[in-house]
Every structure is written in C-alpha cells, then in structure tokens.
C-alpha cells in the first residue's frame, strides 16, 4: 500500500503543486475583490488625490503669477475718487512686456492720427500707455477707454462708471484713439497754437496747461517714457 501511495505521489506531484498554486492565487484575488467592494470610494480617492492636488497647485501658481504681473505691477496704487487729487496721483508702473505689446499694436494707429491731426505719434502712444496701464486699466476693460477721457457735458456717447467717476466708453479701441485726437486737437483742451507734429514736449506742455492729462506728474512721465522707448522715432515714419 505504501509503495502504491509513493508511486501515485511521484506521478502526480507536479499536478498537486499546480493545483495548490492556483488555489493560492485565487484566494488572493478574492481577498482584493472584497477589499475593493468594502472601500471603493477610498480606493478611487487615493488614486485621484495626487493628480487633483498637482492640478490645483498649478492653477494657484498661474493665478498668483497673473495677479502679480497684471494687478500689483500695473495697478500699484488705487487712485482717490476725488477729482482734486488727480494732479498728485502717483504715476503707474508699467510692465515692460505689456509696454512693447501696446506699442506694436497701436503704432500704426498713432501714425494715422498724427497725419490727420498733427499730434505726435509718440505723444499719443505715451499718453495711452500711462492712462491705460498698457491696456490693463479697468476703463479699457469696461469701455475701450485708453486715454482716461472723462465724461463732458457735450459727450453724447456711451459711458462707464469706474471708482465712482464717469468716463467715455467706445465700441472699439480705434474709436478711443480717434476721440482722443479730437479731444486734444479740436476740443477745449486743444493748444492755442498747436506745436509741430514732432514736438512731443511741446504737445505735452500745451495739453497739460489746458488741464489734460489732469495728473501733472504725467508731464515728466510721458517725456521719460517717449525717450526711454524711443517713441520719437515713430514720429518720423510715414
């Protein structure tokens, strides 16, 4: 009997080993299956959490960069709503990349306005850069107002309210540039004797003497901006 048992084991030993291995594997799968059924939400959450965390951190980082560049740098100081305080308002700091983009976008428009109204293109661009914070001022975002032109009794167009004050609003940026030309060349703020189309200092002095821009500090800021960016070269382009 013992001999028969020994022979049986020798012949079937590999089959028995194989069966045991299959039973072990099956038991492990069954245990995992039950674990997943008992905690499906936890398993899913554990897998998803790292990806969500990375995405959230990336989004927060992007927001922080945008806020630092376009809000804190371009709107460093909130202007008082009192009209009497405009003359002493700080001049805004402009982002260099935003400046370059603004000039590239509107240089040709400024040349067109110079040819039609005799206003230096450099003066137009510098004035627009400062008033619009290189295109990121709320007045631009709300009403395409690139020059901070306020509402006046003779204005019949659309208007916007920013920090409690009324400003003109336009359908397109080009309309803002054209109205600015009319405002300083033919309106109540126009110089009594218009300087030459290349005399950006003369135009700055003349319009500020008339009350536009209202911020007296813009005189120095505009001239420095024109010379730093060499905007006067655009005054010679046809």
Fold exhibited by the domain 89-236: Lysozyme (1.10.530)
- Using 50, 70 and 90 to split pLDDT, how confident is the model at 23? low
Compute the average pLDDT of residues 154-175: 95
- Domain layout of the chain by residue ranges: 2-72, 89-236
- Using 50, 70 and 90 to split pLDDT, how confident is the model at 192? confident
Per-residue pLDDT at 92: 74
pLDDT tens per residue across span 96-145: 899 999 999 999 999 999 999 999 999 999 999 999 999 999 999 999 99
- Using 50, 70 and 90 to split pLDDT, how confident is the model at 87? low
Per-residue pLDDT at 22: 63
Determine the Cα–Cα distance for residues 68 and 71; give it in Å rounded to an integer.
6
- Residue 159 clears pLDDT 90, i.e. is over it: yes
Summary mean pLDDT of the chain: 75
Per-residue pLDDT at 217: 84
Compute the average pLDDT of residues 33-53: 39
- Residue 235 clears pLDDT 90, i.e. is over it: yes
| 209 neighbors 203 (Cβ within 8 angstroms) | no
More confident residue, 71 or 15: 15
Distances (CA, A) of 22 to 12, 35, 78: 15, 20, 75
Beta-carbon neighbour count of residue 99 at 10 Å? 17
- Using 50, 70 and 90 to split pLDDT, how confident is the model at 50? very low
Compute the average pLDDT of residues 80-96: 60
**Percentage of the chain modeled with pLDDT above 90:** 49
* Tokens coding 174: 């080009």
Q: Which of 52-66, 72-86, 91-105, 114-128 has the highest mean pLDDT?
A: 114-128
- Residue 9 clears pLDDT 60, i.e. is over it: no
Q: Model-level pTM greater than 0.85? A: no
Angle CA 233–234–238, to nearest 5: 120
Per-residue pLDDT at 169: 97
Q: Hunting for tokens 């012949």 — which residue is that? A: 11
Per-residue pLDDT at 7: 62
Distances (CA, A) of 174 to 75, 144, 158, 222: 24, 9, 15, 21
Measured over the CA atoms of residue 221, residue 96, residue 115 and residue 186, the dihedral's sign is: negative
Per-residue pLDDT at 37: 37
Map residue 168 onto helix, strand or coil. strand
Per-residue pLDDT at 25: 53
Determine the Cα–Cα distance for residues 167 and 174; give it in Å rounded to an integer.
17
* 2-6, 48-52, 166-170, 227-231: segment of lowest average pLDDT: 48-52
């Amino acid at each position: 009997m013992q001999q028969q048992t020994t022979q049986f084991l020798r012949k079937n030993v590999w089959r028995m080993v194989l069966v045991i291995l299959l039973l072990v594997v099956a038991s492990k799968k069954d245990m995992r299956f039950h674990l997943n059924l008992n905690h499906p939400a936890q398993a899913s959450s554990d897998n998803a959490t790292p990806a969500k965390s990375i995405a959230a951190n990336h989004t927060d980082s992007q927001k922080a960069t945008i806020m630092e560049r376009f809000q804190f740098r371009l709107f460093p100081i909130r202007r008082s709503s009192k009209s009497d305080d405009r003359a002493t308002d700080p001049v805004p700091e402009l982002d260099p990349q935003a400046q370059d983009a603004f000039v590239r976008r509107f240089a040709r428009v400024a040349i067109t306005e110079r040819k039609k109204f005799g206003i230096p293109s450099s003066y137009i661009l510098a004035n627009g850069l400062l008033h619009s914070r290189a295109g990121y001022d709320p007045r631009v975002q709300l009403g395409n107002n690139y020059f901070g032109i306020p509402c006046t009794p003779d204005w019949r167009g659309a208007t916007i309210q920013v920090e409690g004050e009324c400003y003109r609003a336009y359908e397109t940026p080009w309309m803002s540039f054209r109205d600015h030309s009319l405002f300083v060349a033919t309106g109540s703020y126009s110089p009594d004797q218009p300087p030459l189309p290349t005399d950006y200092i003369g135009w700055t002095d003349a319009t500020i003497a008339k009350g536009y821009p209202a911020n007296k500090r813009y005189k120095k800021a505009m001239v420095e901006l024109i010379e730093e960016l060499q905007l006067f070269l655009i005054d010679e382009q046809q």
